[in-house]
Chains A and B, each alone.
Chain A
Amino acid sequence: MTDTSTETRTVVVEREIPHPPEKIWRALTQPHLIEEWLMKTDFAPALGHRFNLRGDWGGVDCEVLAVEPHKTLSYTWNYAHDDPAYALKSVVTFTLTPTPGGTHLRMEQQGFRPDQRQAYGGASGGWRQHFDKLEQVLARIE
């Protein structure tokens, strides 16, 4: 008997954001906006819609699992790899809760196995590129 809830691990990131849920929802669901903070994508907020999130290192395969406008968005975040130790099957769920000052945004990524070799589908080099890019973007904004 294996219990999937103890077989996998979860990453949770939460943040108070001084913007209303409706606005954050747009950033989470409109491809041209998703691209600006996450990755290039052909996302559509429709149940069962299959899409990709693409980065320089490759990308992840996704399918929309839950859409509750301004409240919940959930999709699979899978990375195929011949070596099962590198393959990843996970589910990303965003939960938006209105607060007096804006929104409490919670991201939960579930499905990391204890034998997972990499947190993320890409190679570790891809990570460095992500962070380099991020720094460039941040430098431009300030």
Chain B
Amino acid sequence: MPDSHDILFRTLADPTRRAIFERLCREGEQTVGALTARAGVSQPAVSKHLGVLKQAGLVRDRHEGRQTHYSAQIGALAPLIDWTSQMAGFWENRFDKLEDLLKRMDQ
């Protein structure tokens, strides 16, 4: 588990790479060319980012003729949800304690 966390965090820590992933999440499957047009970096750089994303299981590629289409694998993000829900769980528990305290306090 810690390994998959490390890989996901490291992969998404790069802002350019994260922007590519986010665009695939929002807009669906796209070619390297289409992604490059708006990434602000060169096509080889985009391809490299896509390779890292693919290794982390965050994107899948599909070959069609000379084009490669990439799509986001949102399910791969599941391990990341752990800590936000963990922190929310912390506060939920603290609020339970707060409510118990309020019951005991004078008006």
> Hey, which bits of chain A sit against chain B, CB under 8 A?
2, 7, 9, 11-13, 15, 17, 19-20, 23-24, 26-27, 33, 36-38, 85, 105, 107, 109, 112-120, 127, 130-131, 134, 137-138, 141
CB contact under 8 A between A19 and B102, given known A107-B95, A119-B86: yes
B78: chain A residues at CB < 8 Å are none
Q: Which of B61-97 contact A (CB under 8 A)?
A: 80, 83-84, 86-88, 90-97
Closest A residue to B10 by CB, please name it: A115
Partner of A36, one of B12, B18, B86, B101: B101
Given contacts A85-B9, A115-B9, A137-B100, contact A23 B94 (CB under 8 A): no
Task: Say whether A118 contacts B95, CB under 8 Å.
Answer: no
Sample of 6 further A-B pairs with CB below 8 A, known A13-B92, A112-B87, A120-B90: A13-B95, A107-B95, A116-B9, A116-B83, A120-B87, A138-B96
Question: In whole angstroms, what is the CA distance A117 to B90 when docked?
Answer: 16
- In the assembled complex, the Cα of A4 lies from the Cα of B15 at a distance in Å of 11
A137 & B97 in contact (Cβ 8 Å cutoff): yes
Q: Main SS of the interface on chain A?
A: mixed
Taking the complex as formed, is B45 at the interface, i.e. its CB lies under 8 A from any CB of chain A? Answer: no
Find out whether the CB atom of B5 lies under 8 angstroms from the CB atom of A117. yes
Please determine whether B100 and A37 come into contact, CB atoms closer than 8 angstroms.
Answer: yes
Contact of B97 among A7, A24, A134 (CB under 8 A): A134
- For residue A43, give the distance in angstroms from its CB to the closest CB of chain B: 14
CB-nearest residue of chain B to A38: B94
Contact assessment for A37 and B88 in the assembled complex, using a CB-CB cutoff below 8 Å: no
Q: Residue B105 contacts which of A33, A113, A130 (CB distance < 8 angstroms)?
A: A33
Q: Is B98 an interface residue (CB 8 A)?
A: yes
CB distance from A136 to the nearest CB of B (A): 11
Residues of B within 8 A of A27 (CB): 98, 101-102, 105
Alpha-carbon gap, A107 to B87, bound state (A): 11
- 26 A-B pairs with CB atoms under 8 Å apart are A7-B15, A11-B91, A13-B92, A15-B95, A15-B99, A17-B99, A23-B102, A24-B102, A33-B105, A37-B94, A37-B97, A37-B100, A37-B101, A38-B97, A107-B91, A107-B95, A114-B12, A115-B10, A115-B12, A115-B13, A116-B9, A117-B5, A120-B90, A134-B93, A138-B96, A141-B100
